[in-house]
Amino acid sequence: MEHQNPSDEKPLTFSAKLLHQLRTNLLFNSKWAELNGAMGDLGTYIPIILALTLARDLNLGTTLIFTGIYNIITGAIYGVPMPVQPMKSIAAVALSNPDFGIPEIMAAGILTGGVLFVLGVTGLMQLVYKLIPLSVVRGIQLAQGLSFAMTAVKYVRNIQNLPKSKSIGKRPCMGLDGLILALVCACFIVVINGAGEEQRTRNTREDQEQEILPINRFDKLKKKFKLVSIPSAFLVFLLGVVFAFVRKPKLVNDIHFGPSQIEVVRITRRAWKDGFVKGTIPQLPLSVLNSVIAVCKLSSDLFPGKDFTATSVSVTVGLMNVVGCWFGAMPCCHGAGGLAGQYKFGGRSGACVAILGACKSTLGLVMGTSLVAILSEFPVGVLGVLLLFAGIELAITSRDMRSKEESFVVLVCTAVSLVGSSAALGFVCGFFVYGVLCLRKLGSGKSFSEIWMNGSETL
């Protein structure tokens, strides 16, 4: 019997390669884990979208349809739980400025997306990615993670007026949106998920010794009773949906089936100007740092075998907004916090966000804007719990700084970002401090460029 020489096999066609890649990227590692991971991004997504829908008449149905499509496409392209989040700086301007309406929001999104698209296709974003030191990126991630965590604690402790982004009093202990409910949900997640999966990317002798320590008794019990397979975040979110109907049973009468009407947004010359000045300019630094640079760095940490370029991420963010914003979909981007949150709750592949995207699009088509009636009754304290764990997971990524100098840069960047409420200002200060520390090493016999690029080996 003749054996076929492997070299004689016909190479796969482009369509066959593409189909294979899509199957790989959308593969379910564990259906419950991927479903659970899909909930990790809702702590930031729901409050912002709900606030803009109530305060600025954002078309919720259109936003759900488009962001759902974005989720499915990015999951298929990247093969990781790549999040799709509202652009936070633009949302903050819209909620704080009554004159910044839907036309201005969409103009800001289109212009921000256009700039990111150009930076991507020209290769400039990849150059920026290579030049920015890891310690500066870790500082931005730590600041963003702590910011999420502090917002989450505010959601848990205080009653929120989301359209005005204000606290209006202490949250009662009892009730269907009480403090005890939030604490029970938090404890449930900790019991099931613990502190999260350990990232085994370190190579020192001490770390290797720590990794071989025996598993503790509680972990053995979890494995014995298969507690690790319980989708904790999904169950917590489902509980919140049930409580929304219990809090207001007449919600059923407010639901109207059918998609909301999709129309092209008319943007005046003044709206273009205000959108650029008030929305695009403050949003761009955050998008470049957190939506592209930090996402690429974090994905290389969490998914070493699935590295992708800053160019591709910048292009996808740009295209999402250049297309969707014309039809009234909220300006969106990727985010390191969403990626960390979905990873925290079990997301390991593109199937995680594809599930979420399918649910969003289905809800947008079936229920349209009437879904806001349900979300407005959703327990905000429960959303705070989900946001808290996402923030902590993102902040933990900064623990891999090995030298005191690197940690110094991280903390300077974090402190300025939090106190000044500006990731751009924190980035500039961290970048400057890193440069000064590199200048101090010039007498070591290495060039400035070598010191800059080697980072942890020289600082």
Question: How much is the average pLDDT of 37-61?
Answer: 89
| Segments forming the whole domain that contains residue 287 | 30-196+228-401
pLDDT value at 215 more than 80: no
Q: Which of 116, 108, 53 is nearest to 278 (CA)?
A: 108
CB proximity list for 97: less than 8 A, separation 6 or greater? 278
pLDDT of 225: 52
Q: Which of 48, 53, 68, 45 is nearest to 324 (CA)?
A: 68
CB proximity list for 275: less than 8 A, separation 6 or greater? 103, 104, 105, 106, 107, 108, 109, 110, 111, 267
Q: Which of 295, 316, 314, 317 is nearest to 306 (CA)?
A: 295
pLDDT of 219: 58
Ranking 89-103, 177-191, 223-237, 287-301 by mean pLDDT, the lowest is 223-237
Amino acid found at 18:
L
Q: Report DSSP state, residue 456.
A: G
pLDDT value at 212 more than 60: no
Q: Show the tokens assigned to 137.
A: 């990126």
Query: What band does 195 get if pLDDT is binned at 50, 70 and 90?
Result: confident
pLDDT of 211: 41
Question: How much is the average pLDDT of 321-327?
Answer: 97
Q: Is residue 85 a part of any domain in this protein?
A: yes
> Are 80 and 303 contacting, i.e. CB atoms less than 8 angstroms apart?
yes
Q: Show the tokens assigned to 52.
A: 């803009």
Rounded to whole angstroms, the Cα distance separating 174 from 180 reads 6
**CA Rg value for the chain:** 23
Q: What is the mean pLDDT of the chain?
A: 85
Query: What band does 196 get if pLDDT is binned at 50, 70 and 90?
Result: low
pLDDT of 192: 84
Rounded to whole angstroms, the Cα distance separating 116 from 288 reads 8
Q: Is residue 454 a part of any domain in this protein?
A: no
> Are 315 and 120 contacting, i.e. CB atoms less than 8 angstroms apart?
yes
pLDDT value at 349 more than 50: yes
Centroid of chain to Cα 167: 24
Rounded to whole angstroms, the Cα distance separating 217 from 288 reads 44
Rounded to whole angstroms, the Cα distance separating 382 from 388 reads 10
pLDDT value at 7 more than 60: no
Q: Which of 355, 330, 332 is nearest to 345 (CA)?
A: 355
Question: How much is the average pLDDT of 2-19?
Answer: 64
pLDDT of 1: 46
Q: Show the tokens assigned to 116.
A: 């990111």
Helix (H, G, I), strand (E, B) or coil at 2: coil
Question: How much is the average pLDDT of 360-364?
Answer: 94
pLDDT of 131: 86
pTM equals 0.83
Q: Is residue 245 a part of any domain in this protein?
A: yes
Q: Is residue 282 a part of any domain in this protein?
A: yes
Backbone phi and psi for residue 231, each to the nearest 5 degrees, phi listed first:
-80, 85
Q: Is residue 426 a part of any domain in this protein?
A: no
Q: Is residue 3 a part of any domain in this protein?
A: no
Rounded to whole angstroms, the Cα distance separating 317 from 321 reads 7
Query: What band does 21 get if pLDDT is binned at 50, 70 and 90?
Result: confident
Highest-confidence segment of 117-121, 156-160, 301-305: 117-121
Q: Is residue 350 a part of any domain in this protein?
A: yes
Question: How much is the average pLDDT of 398-425?
Answer: 86
Q: Which residues pair with 333 in a beta bridge?
A: 85
Rounded to whole angstroms, the Cα distance separating 39 from 122 reads 35
Q: Which of 350, 352, 385, 406 is nearest to 142 (CA)?
A: 406
pLDDT value at 14 more than 80: no
Q: Is residue 423 a part of any domain in this protein?
A: no
| Number of domains observed in the structure of the chain | 1
pLDDT value at 326 more than 50: yes
Per-position DSSP letters for 376-415, written without gaps between them: TTS-HHHHHHHHHHHHHHHHHGGGG--SHHHHHHHHHHHH
pLDDT value at 11 more than 70: no
Q: Which helix (H) or strand (E) holds 297?
A: helix 294-302
